[in-house]
Structure 1
């Protein structure tokens, strides 16, 4: 391998809400790290101060690394860093492993895997579960799509940032599983938002919904973080944008269409997110769907929460 400790050199493209913590934990694991940032320099500068180095292009990173992580917002962005003129493919770096931790379109993933394989490179899909809080703590959930030998190679690196790793199957399967996860999660967001609006219209306080459901067997981690904003008004409870969520439910719709699956609930969820995004609120975080769905029903949820504080 490339460093004196016989550990692979790791690259990381996309050190945003999730990527920063993941990259920092890779360094804590004793790996040399090369980063490529975007417009927000703060997380990049933080990692450089910890000892990382910076690459100007994905091609340059590929030449310096053994394994590259990609943590971006969508498949077009992933395709750009792989297929671009100064992209990973342009490096011709045989033996390179690329780990795509984005929530991506599985059809795109499988196509990229074939293109990389033709150049002697390997693509692994390893999308994430949980939030930036767990990214910083190194306790994310990881779903991994790879053959058995590649999985064994990358697992020690993924262990640095994950507390729960599941080998799903071949490349592409983890992105399929992630879409199933986000279909459920964004379905919760739409359902909880609508339930809060309905409760408000019939005279039930948001705090009552949180207390009753939160203390029942219908509670779950997503309910807790959603209500941490909807009732607790903590803006940072789940830092995942509505724009990204809207993209994910569109990918779910595409997957359902390709599989010939009847998906009316998916369509309803997608329409909620599409409407809120179209109204110019895509930069808000997913739990803020509660405010927007309430507003569609003539309810100011924030004011109602304040009115019912004990």
Structure 2
């Protein structure tokens, strides 16, 4: 793939993040883009930008030089690759498969070896930030790849990302993304606890958060998740839900166990997520756990 504009780009998975990412690829890469999703709506909307609908994931794989995956979990990625008539059956020498999903590190490295047997490169490039960032083309992407492969795919990733980091060999992108989310979730718990305690002690929550943001407790999580969700009590669906957050946290806990690290802070977050799901809040934006801290004794 010496020239990105001459490559045929495939995209599988047009959900909350996948659709705007695919749109930016189609608009900015100069390449032909073929896509597949189980839902019809995104394919109809993307047709306006010249994205060509395909009838199956394997058809995308058979026709494209580079294939992006944007799927709900590593388990779904593995199933799509390994099933009968899956992506591995259509893999061929010189292709590059780029997984934008958040997947377990061991699964990612196993899939790299399975694709390598077909002389196909498999790269992890999980995305961070919001749907709005995906639409604006300002995502952060953490890549696990060999340096030469990274240089090949970087122009494509740059169509939808403003911060692109090569984190190490395959799997290292997933390590970074999983730990990024773990730190975020733990920070959201701390912010939620501070709000609950502060209000009970007679401090206005807006004053609390504004003051924290001017001190050493300031953080991206405080200014975004805290001020925009926890403070007004707005936890929409179709955002980064408790269910999705817990899936990513489980990957972090698995990695902690495999590396022999006592990640008890992350285990506390998992308890809050479990309680939120049990309370019927699983589909809501993950800072909704702050609601569970009120009136506790």
Summarize the alignment of residues 201-240 of structure 1 with structure 2, pairs less than 5 Å apart.
201-226=200-225, 227-235=227-235, 239-240=239-240
The answer to whether the Cα contact below 8 Å between 1:58 and 1:82 also exists between their aligned partners in 2 is no
Moved more, 101-110 or 261-270: 261-270
Task: Give distance in 1, aligned partners of 2:272 and 2:154.
Answer: 37
Task: Give distance in 1, aligned partners of 2:235 and 2:15.
Answer: 17
Moved more, 42-51 or 106-115: 42-51
TM-score, normalised by the number of residues in structure 1: 0.89
Show the counterpart of 1:181.
180
Instruction: Encode CA deviations 1:172-213: one digit per residue, 9 max, x unaligned.
Output: 011011111011011112211222222222222222222211
Show the counterpart of 1:59.
58
Summarize the alignment of residues 112-191 of structure 1 with structure 2, pairs less than 5 Å apart.
112-191=111-190
Residue 281 of structure 1 aligns to a residue in which SS? coil
> Is 1:31 aligned with 2:13?
no
Show the counterpart of 2:286.
286
1:233: how far off?
4.5
RMSD: 2.1
Show the counterpart of 1:268.
268
Residue 38 of structure 1 aligns to a residue in which SS? coil
Instruction: Encode CA deviations 1:264-289: one digit per residue, 9 max, x unaligned.
Output: 11211111112212332111012322
1:104: how far off?
0.9
1:214: how far off?
2.4
The answer to whether the Cα contact below 8 Å between 2:281 and 2:288 also exists between their aligned partners in 1 is no
Structure 2 gaps, min length 5:
none
Residue 280 of structure 2 aligns to a residue in which SS? helix
Aligned pairs, number: 295
Residue 89 of structure 2 aligns to a residue in which SS? helix
Residue 215 of structure 2 aligns to a residue in which SS? coil
Task: Give distance in 2, aligned partners of 1:48 and 1:85.
Answer: 29
Task: Give distance in 2, aligned partners of 1:11 and 1:92.
Answer: 13
Show the counterpart of 1:248.
248
TM-score, normalised by the number of residues in structure 2: 0.93
The 1:6/1:163 distance shift into structure 2, 3 A limit, reads closer
Instruction: Encode CA deviations 1:240-277: one digit per residue, 9 max, x unaligned.
Output: 11111101111111000000111111211111112212
Task: Give distance in 1, aligned partners of 2:245 and 2:115.
Answer: 28
Structure 1 gaps, min length 5:
299-310
